[in-house]
Amino acid sequence: MTALDGTSAAGRTLRSWQDPALPVAERVDALLAEMTLEEKIGQLGSRWPGNAMQAGQDEEPKEGSEGTANVAPMQDVFAASGTVPFEESIRHGLGHLTRVFGSAPVTAAEGAAEVVRLQSEVVRHSRLGIPALVHEECLTGFTTYGATVYPAAIAWGATFDPDLVERMAAAIGRDMRAVGVHQGLSPVLDVVRDYRWGRVEETMGEDPYLVSMLGAAYVRGLEGAGVIATLKHFAGYSASRAARNHGPVPMGRRELMDMILPTFETAIVEGGARSVMNSYSDVDGVPAAADSWLLTDLLRDEWGFTGTVVSDYWAIPFLATTHQVAADPAEAGARALAAGVDVELPDTLGFGQHLAGRVRRGELPEALVDRAARRLLTQKVELGLLDPDWTPEGSVAGAGSVDLDSPANRALARELAERSIVLLDAGTALPLLGEGRPEPRRVAVVGPCADDPRTFMGCYAFPNHVLPRHPGLGLGVAAPSLLDALRAELPGAELVHEPGCEVRGDDRSGFAAALRAAREADVCVAVVGDLAGMFGLGTSGEGCDAEDLRLPGAQEDLLAELAATGTPVVVVVVSGRPYALGRVAGTAAALVQSFMPGEEGGAAVAGVLSGRVQPGGRLPVQIPRGPGGQPGTYLQPPLGSNSHGISNLDPTPLFPFGHGASYTTFAIDTLRIDDAEVPTDGEFTVSVRVRNTGERAGEEVVQLYLHDVVAQVTRPVRQLTGFARVRLEPGASAVVTFVVPADRTAFTGRDLRRVVEPGDIEVFVGASASDLPCRGRIRLTGPLRHVGVGRRLVTRVNVEPAPGSSATQQGGTDAGQS
């Protein structure tokens, strides 16, 4: 770090805030005491040097497209408004550098060199020489050119495997840390409430407990690698009216507390997350960026969170421009700071130096500036940025040797992809190389997703996020399509490919060739679904919301005509959201759901189709029967499910939450509950036996659900309370034991306080929310308890081989993972 008196760091007298031997809080206090008001305000801002959307620098969207080439909402508008020169913007210091790697295609070495250049400027041009934090996106891997593209988050949900998600996040974190990145804008902890929302692909599903366990695991992995995890979007974003991006959220406080907030609380308590990003949406009329109850009373005062709240990109000026709860960005900045936002991303508009004038005029307490600056400076101290031996060059010391798409990364991506693929129905056609079934000699591979590996990737994967503006660069990673993978998987078969149609649009000129290929084949593999994009340039992704749940474009009609050929049609859906498959299911010879499986998705799906890979994915969202009747998830009170004569609309899904078939069979039986009565401050134990009754090794996900029989407010008919992924050899069996704290039955009562209520609790164990062969009941006794911080959030689980058997538990430990 540049010395204040111009001497070298070696040999100079350290200021107390530079002394690593002192406690962090003492160092931060000393630094704040030295800073001017303007310097403290400087730490609250950010700069996006790569935000260049001016004409001539980026390719325009294709003719006829409905969206823009933005990678953040209204990016072009804010870029066009102009920014002050970089040197001027950092004169009083800088909090964050935005997306040095993630804005344009750069190699790891080029990005690291730019980090060094920018950090050197920040240190040299500010009086105190405090470096900036560098943040990047990392939802499907490090969002930069040439980095591994892992499966989308909705695919993590399908694994039901927190340990695997934690290993992935650790690998992502190590790569980011090696090139000088300090903070990752992930994970997304929004719980799906409406499948039409474009960002379903970025979530881990529709159940708060599943999302909590996977989200906390991701946080542990990223934070363990030395990268700050950022929880988003806090809170309510996924429940917008009509599933429109940024739409208002007409949600009551009780639903928010029971369905949306537990994922964030768990990731903080169990995962150790150090940052939270506010939601764009308003909940019941109050935008999150201006909600002091959410960002201060709940997050800080009740939950005890001590990290930073960073704004979603331009969420602060949006308080003025889109929410219209502030007169201008300056007033919006004051309101956001007062509510509890600490750092403005991606550029400084609301948290500019105008705040100093407000403080001096008595319009804004300086204590609010100090509060936010203290939180950010604490993290800079913790990360070593204020240590005397820190240098811009040293911060990227690992960049020269890092392989952002290493063989180890790819192996992990393959494992995730294989474990995420859901066999909805093996039907009469799968596996293609099954015993007793002749190997197909001619296979028609049709559909718009069959030969385009971009369909395997989410909207925050670099090939779909940034590279559409740089079409000459390809994908930046090796990513075989499913067609390529099937050629390798079925070397003895002749494969004929016809796309039939595009993902979007109504052009059916390719139908005839696709139908001809199907008629002349022994089996047809039809690959349909999504192509992710941003703000209208895709069928899934941020700003790519759906009117209904029909497969996009002409794809459903293509499937209907393929089925009419008489050739068995294996339907593979590669998508970011669940689509209604009721019309398809009746005619398909088999159904497979793959939720954007990443760069290794082709081989993973091909392996499931051939039978080489034993499918083990489970649905983190339901598969609807019909395209309308939205919204609806499995978490419904009695009147939210089929009401038998009260309404003519039946929301029963085609495939339920938690469903997934296999090429072997399992039985779950022998339910045991340790006590019939348990105090409201106690715990109870539920155990079952799971057996592999088939002829192949495989994995079953044993799922525990509870139902509060009589409560003071309506409660879900079923709610996931624990799960364990268990691998069993043929004929083997295991005993799965769930230790359930009474706190896991807590809900928000009529007075908006969370309670554990005495009364009967139904217990269900099985293989999905609808396949529950084991049923029992316990009674909670004693007084009604009010519970809050400190309540037990996790159902512990243990898997042991049954006598004379062997089993392997995956995604669970006795130490507290479900």
Which of 198, 204, 195 has the alpha carbon at shortest distance from 159? 204
As given in the structure block, the two tokens for residue 88 are 């001027």
Instruction: List beta partners, residue 778.
Output: 761
**Of 121 and 535, which is predicted with more confidence?**
121
Answer yes or no: is pLDDT of 549 > 90. Answer: yes
pLDDT digits (tens, 9 = 90+) for 379-426: 999 999 999 999 999 999 888 899 999 999 999 999 999 999 999 999
Based on the number of CB atoms within 10 Å of its own CB, is 792 exposed (0-12), middle (13-18) or buried (19 or more)? middle
Residue indicated by tokens 């992502």 = 172
Instruction: List beta partners, residue 540.
Output: 532
d(CA 504, CA 448): 9
Query: From the CB of residue 815, how many other CB atoms can be counted at a distance below 10 Å?
Result: 9
Lowest mean pLDDT among 187-196, 205-214, 568-577, 808-817: 808-817
- What's the pLDDT at 59? 44
Residue 7 binned pLDDT confidence (cut-offs 50, 70, 90) = very low
Q: Provide CB contacts within 8 A for 645, sequence distance 6+.
A: none
Answer yes or no: is pLDDT of 2 > 50. Answer: no
Report yes or no on whether pTM surpasses 0.85: yes
Residue 806 binned pLDDT confidence (cut-offs 50, 70, 90) = low
d(CA 675, CA 36): 63
Mean local confidence (pLDDT), 173-180: 97
d(CA 45, CA 334): 13
d(CA 236, CA 229): 19
Mean local confidence (pLDDT), 538-567: 96
Mean local confidence (pLDDT), 313-335: 95
- H or E stretch at 270: none
Q: In what order do the strands lie in the sheet with 733-741?
A: 666-673, 683-692, 733-741, 796-801
Residue indicated by tokens 């974003």 = 237
3-class DSSP assignment, residue 600: coil
What does DSSP say about strands 683-692 and 666-673: parallel, antiparallel, or unpaired?
antiparallel
Residue type, 142: F
- What's the pLDDT at 526? 98
**Of 521 and 439, which is predicted with more confidence?**
521
3-class DSSP assignment, residue 728: strand
Distance of CA 124 to the CA centre of its chain: 38
Answer yes or no: is pLDDT of 356 > 70. Answer: yes
DSSP string, 437-474: SPPPSEEEEESTTTT-GGGGS-TTSHHHHTGGG-GGGT
Residue 818 binned pLDDT confidence (cut-offs 50, 70, 90) = very low
Residue type, 291: D
d(CA 484, CA 487): 5
The conformational region for residue 670 under phi > 0 = left, psi -120 to 50 = alpha, else beta, is: left
- Phi, psi (rounded to 5 degrees) for 453: -65, -15
Query: From the CB of residue 713, how many other CB atoms can be counted at a distance below 10 Å?
Result: 14
Mean local confidence (pLDDT), 312-325: 95
Residue indicated by tokens 């980095």 = 147
Query: From the CB of residue 372, how many other CB atoms can be counted at a distance below 10 Å?
Result: 25
Answer yes or no: is pLDDT of 6 > 70. Answer: no
d(CA 346, CA 594): 33
Query: Secondary structure of the chain: what % helix, strand, coil (to 5)?
Result: 30, 20, 50
Residues 748/716, Cβ–Cβ less than 8 Å: no
pLDDT digits (tens, 9 = 90+) for 494-533: 999 999 999 999 999 999 999 999 999 999 999 999 999 9
Dihedral, 306, 312, 318, 319 alpha carbons, nearest 10? -20
Exposure on the CB side of residue 763, measured as CA atoms within 13 A: 25
Calculate the average pLDDT of the chain: 92
d(CA 404, CA 178): 10
Answer yes or no: is pLDDT of 5 > 50. Answer: no
Q: What is the DSSP letter of 294?
A: I
Residues 191/262, Cβ–Cβ less than 8 Å: no
As given in the structure block, the two tokens for residue 427 are 């039907």
What percent of the chain is predicted at pLDDT more than 70? 93
d(CA 425, CA 604): 17
Distance of CA 422 to the CA centre of its chain: 18
Q: Provide CB contacts within 8 A for 302, sequence distance 6+.
A: 788, 789
- What's the pLDDT at 78? 61
- What sign for the dihedral angle of Cα 264, 268, 270, 272? positive
- What's the pLDDT at 55? 33
Distance of CA 148 to the CA centre of its chain: 16
HEC sequence for 390-432: CCCCHHHCCCCCCCCCCHHHHHHHHHHHHHHCEEEECCCCCCC
Which of 345, 263, 445, 308 has the alpha carbon at shortest distance from 96? 345
- Which residue spans within 261-335 are E strands per DSSP? 275-278, 282-283, 286-287, 308-310
Mean local confidence (pLDDT), 280-296: 96
- Phi, psi (rounded to 5 degrees) for 184: -110, 135
- What's the pLDDT at 61? 45
As given in the structure block, the two tokens for residue 396 are 């990227």
Residue 1 binned pLDDT confidence (cut-offs 50, 70, 90) = very low
Residues 194/630, Cβ–Cβ less than 8 Å: yes
Residue indicated by tokens 């949600």 = 251
- What's the pLDDT at 812? 46
Residues 774/250, Cβ–Cβ less than 8 Å: no
As given in the structure block, the two tokens for residue 793 are 């959030």
Cis peptide before 631 (omega within 30 of 0): yes
Answer yes or no: is pLDDT of 204 > 50. Answer: yes
**Of 679 and 535, which is predicted with more confidence?**
679
HEC sequence for 543-583: CCCCCCCCCCCCHHHHHHHHHCCCCCEEEEEECCCCCCCHH
Residue indicated by tokens 């969420």 = 315
DSSP string, 631-691: S--S---GGGS--TTS-S-----SB-TT--B-SS-EEEEEEEES-SEEETTSEEEEEEEEE
Distance of CA 114 to the CA centre of its chain: 28
d(CA 23, CA 748): 39
pLDDT digits (tens, 9 = 90+) for 460-483: 999 999 999 898 899 999 999 999
Residue 84 binned pLDDT confidence (cut-offs 50, 70, 90) = confident
What percent of the chain is predicted at pLDDT more than 90? 86
Lowest mean pLDDT among 130-139, 461-470, 797-806: 797-806
Residue 203 binned pLDDT confidence (cut-offs 50, 70, 90) = very high
Residue 641 binned pLDDT confidence (cut-offs 50, 70, 90) = confident
As given in the structure block, the two tokens for residue 764 are 């269900």
d(CA 215, CA 280): 20
- What's the pLDDT at 807? 59
- H or E stretch at 161: none
Answer yes or no: is pLDDT of 813 > 60. Answer: no
Residue indicated by tokens 């000393």 = 30
Residues 727/808, Cβ–Cβ less than 8 Å: yes
Instruction: List beta partners, residue 765.
Output: 704, 774
Residue type, 249: V
